[in-house]
A and B are shown apart, each in its own frame.
Chain A
Amino acid sequence: MSIQEKQVILSLFNTVLVLVIYSLWLYNRYLSVTPEVINDFSFWGRAFVILVPVTIVVQIVMHILFHIVNAILSREHVPDKEDERDKLIELKSIRLSHWIFITGFFLAMGSQALSMQPWVMFILLISFGFIAGMASDIAKIFYYRRGV
């Protein structure tokens, strides 16, 4: 397995880890105590505003740890730059995640057009954002393995 594939798998793992832990924390801290906040726009706004930087920080910390552990265990050279193949794979995976997120956004707006509860929209946005991130990583693994 190449170093790029390992990094993508780590990113996938981080995405799942952050979302699961953050969802559990949100549920235990707010939703189980005061269920009525589920339709509070400011609650969902805060949830999004906290989730994004937390995800970025976790990804950075985990990648630093990965580089240290990888250097100690395998002594494999980690490329310090992206080449044209990496960029092409990145573009293709971003295109896929873009379409998935746009689909989620459309469904989220559709839920409001059908007069559903506001929480449906926010759950759809978070879910499709999460699925888009995962699909991007899975697509990268696929392209690194099968070829571009």
Chain B
Amino acid sequence: MGRDSIDNNIRTLRFLNGEMTQQELANNTGVTRQTIVAIENGKYFPSLELAFRISHVFGVPLGEVFIFNHQNDPVIRKQNKS
């Protein structure tokens, strides 16, 4: 999976939820703060389970937390070319 194909709004959602800290989000989702940092910075793509947990904490659908940019996805780009 291309690193540019998935974006996230976690930073914005934390801000909208009373400036929730990374540690608070980590505690609520059962991971370490370093993992939340890595997800926010696009250095780690979480499992589907963790992604759902994050969206549950913010009370929004999964698609509002993670955005799939199909234009940047190498598999879809390859299919479109052929």
| Given A3-B34, A83-B32, A146 and B43 contact (CB-CB distance below 8 Å) | yes
Contacts A/B (CB < 8 Å), 18 sampled: A3-B34, A4-B32, A4-B34, A77-B33, A79-B32, A79-B33, A79-B34, A83-B30, A83-B31, A84-B35, A84-B47, A84-B50, A86-B35, A144-B34, A147-B38, A147-B41, A148-B38, A148-B44
Chain B at the A interface: mostly helix, strand, loop or mixed? Answer: loop
B61 contacts the other chain (Cβ, under 8 Å)?
no
Closest A residue to B39 by beta carbon equals: A85
- By the criterion of a CB under 8 Å from any partner CB, how many residues of chain B are at the interface? 17
The interface residues of chain A lying within 8 Å CB-to-CB of B30 are: 83
Q: In the complex, how many angstroms separate the beta carbon of A103 from the nearest chain B beta carbon?
A: 29
The interface residues of chain A lying within 8 Å CB-to-CB of B43 are: 146-148
A32 contacts the other chain (Cβ, under 8 Å)?
no
A42 contacts the other chain (Cβ, under 8 Å)?
no
Binary CB contact string for chain A from 68 to 107 against chain B (1 if under 8 A, 0 otherwise): 0000000001010101111000000000000000000000
- 3 shortest A-B CB distances, which residue pairs? A147-B43, A83-B31, A79-B32
Q: In the complex, how many angstroms separate the beta carbon of A112 from the nearest chain B beta carbon?
A: 44
CA gap between A85 and B3 in the complex, in Å: 16
CA gap between A3 and B26 in the complex, in Å: 15
B46 contacts the other chain (Cβ, under 8 Å)?
yes
Q: In the complex, how many angstroms separate the beta carbon of B21 from the nearest chain A beta carbon?
A: 12
CA gap between A15 and B82 in the complex, in Å: 51
**B34, A147: Cβ atoms closer than 8 Å:** no
The interface residues of chain B lying within 8 Å CB-to-CB of A85 are: 31-32, 34-35, 38, 44, 46
